[in-house]
Amino acid sequence: MSARSASASIASFATLPAPHRPEDRAARASETWAKALSTAYEPLTAQERLARALDGDLPGPVALVSSFGADSVVLLHLAAEIDRSTPILFLETEMLFQETLDYQKRVADLLGLTDVRLIHPSSRELVAEDRDGALHLADQDACCDLRKRRPLERALGGFGASISGRKRHQSATRADIALVETDGPHRLKLNPLADWSAEDLADYRKAAGLPPHPLVAEGFLSIGCAPCTTAVSQDEDPRAGRWRGAEKTECGIHFENGRIVRRAG
pLDDT tens digit sequence for 56-80: 999 989 999 999 998 999 999 999 9
pLDDT band at 23 (very low <50, low <70, confident <90, very high): confident
| pLDDT at residue number 259 | 38
| Residue 228 annotated to the active site | no
Percent over 90 (pLDDT), the chain: 62
Alpha helices in 11-121 (DSSP H): 25-28, 31-41, 46-52, 72-82, 98-111
Instruction: Provide the β-strand partners of residue 117.
Output: 89
Label residue 49 by pLDDT band (50, 70, 90).
very high
Cβ atoms of 75 and 194 within 8 Å: the answer is no
Tell me which of 4 and 88 has the higher pLDDT: 88
Contact assessment for residue 58 and residue 161, using Cβ atoms and an 8 Å cutoff: yes
- Cα gap 214→5, rounded to integer Å: 27
**Do 146 and 130 meet the contact criterion of CB atoms below 8 Å apart?**
yes
Judged by phi (left if over 0) then psi (alpha if -120 to 50, else beta), residue 25 lies in alpha
CA 158 from centre of chain: 18
Residue 50's contacts (CB-CB under 8 Å, 6 or more residues apart) are 78, 79, 82, 163, 190, 192
Position 232 scores a pLDDT of 86
Please check the confidence at residue 31 and state whether its pLDDT lies above 50: yes
- Residues 143, 144, 225, 251: which is the catalytic one? 251
pTM beyond 0.95, yes or no: no
Burial class (CB in 10 A: 0-12, 13-18, 19+), 73: buried
Spatial separation of the C-alpha atoms in residues 106 and 110, rounded to whole Å: 6
pLDDT of 180-196, one tens digit each?
Answer: 999 988 899 999 999 99
Residues in the chain: 265
- Pairing of β 259-260 and β 255-256: antiparallel
